[in-house]
Amino acid sequence: MAYYYEECSHTFSEYLLVPGYSDSTHIPSNVSLKTPLVKFRKGEEPAISMNIPLVSAIMQSVSDDRMAIALAKEGGVAFIYGSQSIEDEAAMVRRVKGYKAGFVTSDSNIAPDQTLADVIALKEKNGHSTIAVTSDGSANGKLLGIVTGRDYRVSRMSPDQKVSTFMTPLEKLITAPEGTTLKEANDIIWDHKLNSLPIVSADGKLVSFVFRKDYDQHKENPTELLDSQKRYVVGAGINTRDYETRVPALVEAGVDVLCIDSSEGFTEWQSRTIKFVRDTYGDSVKIGAGNVVDRDGFRFLAEAGADFIKIGIGGGSICITRETKGIGRGQATAVIEVAKARDEYFEETGIYIPICSDGGIVHDYHMTLALAMGADFCMLGRYFSRFEESPTNKVMVNGNYMKEYWGEGSARARNWQRYDMGGAAKLSFVEGVDCYVPYAGLLHDNVAVTLSKIRSTMCNCGALSIPELQQKAKLTLVSSVSIVEGGAHDVVVKDKVQH
């Protein structure tokens, strides 16, 4: 006979936090949101911790190298999507690792016989105002000059005008030789009042750029997440099919942490993938796994050797797994049970395995609830897809700016590996949708507001850290009627009045 759970499974909107005692020290500026990303032994420090409890989802429409850089600046980690070629994913990892090292490989390059129209198109595509002019238009061609916004005026020049006629030529540029240290490069930038400094090899080829703004941004982002070489920390998604070739390429590119991207993690395929990583690299390569929704799933992946474990099936805003397959569980109930299993495992073994709540986050306060219920951090897709830094197009829909957003199980992504059950290499039916989300602006501005809410709520609960929140939190289930009571009701809200 089938097993029936006695308790109904619940989602985040069915819970509220009950305030606890807070004294004068409980102010948002005193709250630490530091949290472990990978497992560690009792009494030891984790190999990787984050400064904020947010990671971005392993999705084509969410996590590329640009998102990874923006999120690392805030103290979190992006997991670059794996539903692309091994070479392209590794290249994204390299760009993230190269960015914070200060020496940035130029990704806006043009040949001298191209035109102003090409310059404008390249600027629109990449958003960079500094464009390198090289002999062959590549990132490592012979440097001939640069083009910046100061070199042209669209209103006074023909779109057909050749780049060679208006670029700042090499002889007028200040450059530095390959081998220059970052400190020396920044000194040159300051001494000569430059915005950028090309680094050039002995045979005249462009090696990289050092930008003034990168130095300034470092000072503006005190919580940024860096590795031991002061490069941004970045994650990457892998699947359970081509891991024997994908993992070595990502490790060689410098990835800090991997995560198996799968809709369901309680499978032999995941244990095989983790075993390959352990047999090949030992504990030096960190790998998360999932997704699971109960104690059994957690124990399986913990014993397989996962460095962190993701929770959630069918709760994502673009996920229709529950509708198509009848598989899943309310996200709050799943987090609560897996958190108990994590604590049991810690008591038994002395090994703490962080857990990640993935999906089901609709409002900012849901993140605080997930943390209070035991999650160490949250993985977010829709939330990050709305921002300028996500890889999708910004489009106008009915007079409002929107961003495109689609699930990995949608017909658009066709990421069959994520839903692979060992059968044919294809997506037999969709488990995700293709949609729009309202454009929300820059990641930095939005994340700052979200974290402010989390810190404020933690203070209401008398907690100054995530572990303290998990110890002190008091949670109550709420009825459908009291959910209505929680919003504005029985009034005419001014901004909804038609003028």
Q: Return the active site residues.
A: 319, 418
CB 432 within 8 A of CB 320: yes
Cα separation, 192 vs 118, in Å, equals 29
Contacts 24+ apart (CB under 8 A), 323-328: 324/429, 324/430, 324/431, 325/431, 327/264, 328/293
Token digits for 240?
A: 């359970």
> Coil, strand or helix: which one is 93?
helix
DSSP state of 257: E
CA dihedral angle for residue 338, residue 308, residue 420, residue 293, rounded to 10 degrees = 10
Q: Letter for the amino acid at 437?
A: V
**Going by DSSP bridges, is the β-strand pair 377-380/15-18 parallel, antiparallel, or unpaired?**
unpaired
**Two tokens, residue 242:** 């081509």
Distance, in Å, from the CA atom of 81 to the CA atom of 65, rounded to the nearest integer, reads 10
**How many whole angstroms separate alpha carbon 289 and alpha carbon 379?**
13
What's the CA gap between 49 and 225, in Å, rounded? 9
Where residue 273 falls (left for φ over 0; alpha for ψ -120 to 50; beta otherwise) is alpha
368 contacts 31 by C-beta, under 8 angstroms? no
| 345 touches 305 (CB < 8 A) | no
CA gap 295, 342 in Å, rounded: 8
Contact, 133 vs 147, CB < 8 A? Answer: yes
